[in-house]
Amino acid sequence: MPYYISDTNPDCGGWAVEKEDGEVIGCHTTKQAAIDQMVAVSLAEDMEPGGERTEDRQVDLTLPDYIRQAAARGLEMYEAGQGGDGLVERTIREARAMARGEVTEDKVIRVAAWAARHEADLTADGARPDEDGFPTPGAVAHYLWGIPTGGRYDDARAFWDRKAAQVREDEGRAMIEVTPVEPRSKKSGIEFRQVDGEIRALDGDGNRFVGYAAVFNSDSENLGGFVERIRPGAFAKTLRNKRRDVRAYVNHDSNMVLASSRSGTLQMSEDDRGLRVEFDLPEGVTYASDLRALMTAGIVDKMSFGFTIPRKGDEWSDDGTRRELREVVLHEVSVVTGHPAYTATAAAVRSLDGLAERTGMAVEEVSQTLDALADGEDIDPDKADALIAAIKGQTKQEQPDLSLLGLKAKQTELLAKKVF
């Protein structure tokens, strides 16, 4: 789905960067700032932008009050937990737009078709406002689609059928005028980010997975023109939403599922560091056994998360080079083997290499010694003294920032206390 810039989007007082369906991803006071953001996000996806656009709508899509009210009531029912398990995020997002009086041509076509397919849902007891058991999940869905199931049901069906016919008559006309903007940029779909993870097997059988799928207040790698940070609390709303089923995968492969929040096998929480993930590796599953072996060998140490951004869920700098994620809709977490988007940078590797050179130890020995120190285990005194002497012996300019040592937070804290 391409991104555009527009100065006519009702959700922005100035220039908006928006998706093809009009969903805003950023508001700016100047046109150039909007262009910069469009360019920056496009570089990350290696796609062309939509450019600047203005709408020349041929069909009047003004929504009657009773349809707007139906969508608003459907959202209230949904928030009260009356919608069942079949609803998807897109339906909720579009219902919010309808409650504001906004609808796209594509949605008009889909509403008319959806209503015809689901007419039978209203034969169930409790589907109408005057029936016991109201509202059924089917009734809630109708309201979210802008169709009240009471006295205005026939009016709503007639409205959507009429507007769908008008939109179809206009097919083939130029509904959007686009002025290309250079350089060009596009973006779509779920975004994915990787992070250096604290991945380890716990318990006696080595079956418990613990990791961080996201870290707070840490700059990402360059994501193709911009750098990103995650604000603490960004995942809070997703974690509170018990209806959302977040799954853990291997390398984002839905055929290699490890756990899920809905089943209770995946536990997620925010702490001071980031999004903490825990689950038991499933028994008798080949790819889980392979993953356990890779983690035990220290080969796998990365995690990733898949997410989308709700409206006003992020904030961009005016020049489009920095992005802060304030609220994300979490779709999945994965154990991965690729290069991270969020990492302590190459300085972490260089710091460990430098310590290894100064101590005469192998990099793996340095890492294992620091792990043992952090875990409170007895360590070889000679190795500990050599490590501490190497750090003390560095000049102020040479000394690495301990936060970049590639250590766990608790490792850094313990080591800092012993050295300084």
What pLDDT score was predicted for residue 338?
Answer: 52
Peptide bond into 400 cis (omega under 30): no
Separation of alpha carbons 343 and 120, rounded Å: 53
Q: Which residues of 78-112 are buried (b: 16+ CB within 10 A; e: fewer)?
A: beeeebeeebeeebeebbbbbbeebbbbebbbbbb
* 3-state secondary structure (DSSP) of residue 310: coil
Q: Is the pLDDT of residue 204 over 50?
A: no
Contact between 148 and 76 (Cβ < 8 Å): no
DSSP string, 391-410: HHTS-TTTSPPGGGSS--HH
What pLDDT score was predicted for residue 8?
Answer: 75
Structure tokens at 38: 């469009």
CA 363 to chain centroid: 34
Contact between 309 and 325 (Cβ < 8 Å): yes
Dihedral sign, Cα of residue 60, residue 61, residue 66, residue 69? negative
Residue-wise pLDDT for 135-176, tens only, equals 999 999 999 999 999 999 999 999 999 888 887 776 544 333
Q: Which one-letter amino acid corresponds to residue 256?
A: M
Mean local confidence (pLDDT), 326-348: 63
> Which pLDDT band, with edges at 50, 70 and 90, does 285 fall under?
confident
- How far is CA 412 from each of CA 171, 230, 232, 367, 371, rounded to the nearest angstrom? 62, 21, 20, 12, 10
Stated pTM of the model: 0.41
What pLDDT score was predicted for residue 355?
Answer: 64
Q: Is the pLDDT of residue 189 over 70?
A: no
Q: Is the pLDDT of residue 206 over 90?
A: no
Contact between 223 and 295 (Cβ < 8 Å): no
- How far is CA 341 from each of CA 110, 215, 222, rounded to the nearest angstrom? 37, 11, 8
Residue-wise pLDDT for 113-142, tens only, equals 898 888 888 988 999 998 998 999 999 999
What pLDDT score was predicted for residue 231?
Answer: 93
Using CB atoms within 10 Å of the CB of residue 365, give its burial: 0 to 12 exposed, 13 to 18 middle, 19+ buried: middle
Where does 297-408 have alpha helices with state H? Answer: 346-359, 363-374, 381-392
Using CB atoms within 10 Å of the CB of residue 203, give its burial: 0 to 12 exposed, 13 to 18 middle, 19+ buried: exposed
Residue-wise pLDDT for 37-89, tens only, equals 776 676 656 667 777 765 555 678 899 999 999 999 999 999 999 988 778 88
> Which pLDDT band, with edges at 50, 70 and 90, does 368 fall under?
low
Q: Which one-letter amino acid corresponds to residue 375?
A: D
What pLDDT score was predicted for residue 371?
Answer: 56
> Which pLDDT band, with edges at 50, 70 and 90, does 352 fall under?
low
> Which pLDDT band, with edges at 50, 70 and 90, does 236 fall under?
very high
Q: What percent of the chain has pLDDT over 90?
A: 19
